[in-house]
């Protein structure tokens, strides 16, 4: 289960991936700062939530609430920025580890970003809905990692898999290996919450998911080699 992540980390020194890493770090930093400043302003200047007790609690906590909300929403928002770099990372991984596959379907930056934006909106909305549960110790960890593990596994898997398969095939593969993908997603969510590491996490997650897709395709009978060109 961890092997795809070790492979992804080992390729961070690859010249192509290294260039994406720096762009990803810059994008992740920008996302984090924008979230930090924006959420800080919203918390102090507006009523974010309909529940009065929740609004009061968040106002009292102030800076801590801003930091916590920033980490909660970071995985979703940074995925939008990663949409610009998915193709570069996936192609570099395939060239190094799976040269026999040949060319993949070019989704295009626009399609990847639109997909990432839709995902981000859903993720932000769901995290806001379950926000009261984040105030309960221990429960908050289970809720956060399960919810975001599922969402992140689905997002990164589809970004990697749709380069090689059609939507129906990807959906079938995801359902067949849903438990394994959830575990992978939880690892990604965990990486997204570690300071400094979270700046590299989008690239690591993308590269790792290419390996995951190829492995699941093999287990499913070589589906990863169907959709070329």
Strand intervals (E) in the chain: none
Q: How confident is the model at residue 46 (pLDDT cuts 50, 70, 90)?
A: low
Q: What are the φ and ψ backbone dihedral angles of 43, each rounded to 5 degrees?
A: -65, -40
Q: CA 190, CA 225: separation in Å to the nearest integer?
A: 31
The torsion defined by the Cα of 180, 191, 113 and 16, in degrees rounded to 10, comes to -100
Above 60 in pLDDT, residue 35? yes
* Token pair for 171: 């959906």
72 exposed, middle or buried (CB, 10 Å; 0-12, 13-18, 19+)?
buried
Q: Which domain holds residue 20?
A: 3-100+107-225
* Number of residues that this document lists for the chain: 229
Cα separation, 72 vs 140, in Å, equals 11
pLDDT score of 109 more than 70: no
The reply to whether the predicted model has a pTM over 0.85 is no
Burial class (CB in 10 A: 0-12, 13-18, 19+), 137: exposed
Return the ∠ at Cα 153 (arms to 133 and 112), rounded to 5°: 115
Q: According to the model, what pLDDT value does residue 128 have?
A: 83
Range name among 100-109, 160-169, 198-207 with the lowest pLDDT average: 100-109
* Mean pLDDT, residues 3-30: 88
- Total count of domains within the chain: 1
């Amino acid at each position: 289960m961890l092997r795809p992540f070790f492979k992804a980390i080992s390729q961070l020194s690859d010249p192509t991936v290294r260039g994406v890493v720096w762009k990803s770090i810059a994008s992740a930093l920008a996302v984090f700062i924008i979230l930090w400043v924006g959420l800080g302003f919203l918390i102090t200047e507006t009523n974010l939530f309909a529940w009065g007790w929740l609004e009061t609690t968040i106002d009292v906590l102030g800076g801590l609430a801003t930091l916590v909300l920033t980490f909660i929403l970071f995985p979703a928002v940074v995925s939008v920025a990663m949409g610009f770099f998915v193709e570069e990372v996936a192609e570099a991984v395939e060239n190094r580890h799976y040269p026999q596959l040949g060319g993949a379907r070019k989704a295009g930056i626009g399609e990847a970003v639109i997909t990432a934006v839709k995902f981000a909106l859903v993720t932000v909305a769901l995290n806001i809905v379950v926000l009261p549960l984040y105030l309960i110790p221990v429960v908050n960890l289970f809720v956060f990692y399960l919810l975001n593990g599922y969402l992140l596994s689905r997002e990164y898997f589809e970004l990697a898999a749709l380069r090689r398969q059609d939507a129906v095939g990807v959906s079938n593969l995801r359902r067949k290996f849903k438990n394994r993908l959830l575990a992978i997603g939880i690892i990604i969510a965990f990486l997204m919450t570690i300071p400094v590491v979270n700046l590299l996490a989008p690239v690591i997650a993308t590269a790792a998911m290419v390996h995951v897709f190829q492995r699941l395709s093999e287990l499913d009978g070589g589906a990863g080699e169907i959709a070329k060109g």
